[in-house]
Amino acid sequence: MDTYDLEIYQGQTFALSLTVRDDNGVPLNLNGVQVSGYLKARYSDSGKLADLNATVLEPASGIVGLGISFSGTEVLPVGYAFYDVEMLTADSMSKVKILAGKASIYPEATF
């Protein structure tokens, strides 16, 4: 699992793409894999601040996209939050955390 800190600005569309790689740095084939990710105030919270709308963009190249619309970011509280992204293998036998970290949420100055 990799860690990466996000910067999210209220009122702006947030988008990030990443390549999922094995231990040798080779992109994983994500055919048939499902991904999901959420932003939470605390990892232990049952509710989420936002769905990261994780999507496999290019399965053969291991590319996953994350995103929150501008209307979704404008309601996020300013401060810090936490997130993770998991993948469910094609055979549904294994769930693996592929990315996690802290998200800094900055205020919007222009309305």
Q: Parse the chain into domains and list their residue ranges.
A: 2-106
Question: From start to end of the chain, where are the E strands?
Answer: 2-3, 6-9, 14-19, 34-40, 50-51, 55-58, 63-68, 79-88, 95-106
| Domain covering 2-106, topology | Immunoglobulin-like (2.60.40)
Residue 36 has pLDDT above 80, yes or no: yes
Note the pLDDT of residue 111.
66
Note the pLDDT of residue 21.
93
Residue 30 has pLDDT above 70, yes or no: yes
- What's the predicted TM-score (pTM) here? 0.89
Mean pLDDT of 73-101: 92
Instruction: Report the percentage of the chain scoring pLDDT > 70.
Output: 99
Mean pLDDT of 2-27: 95
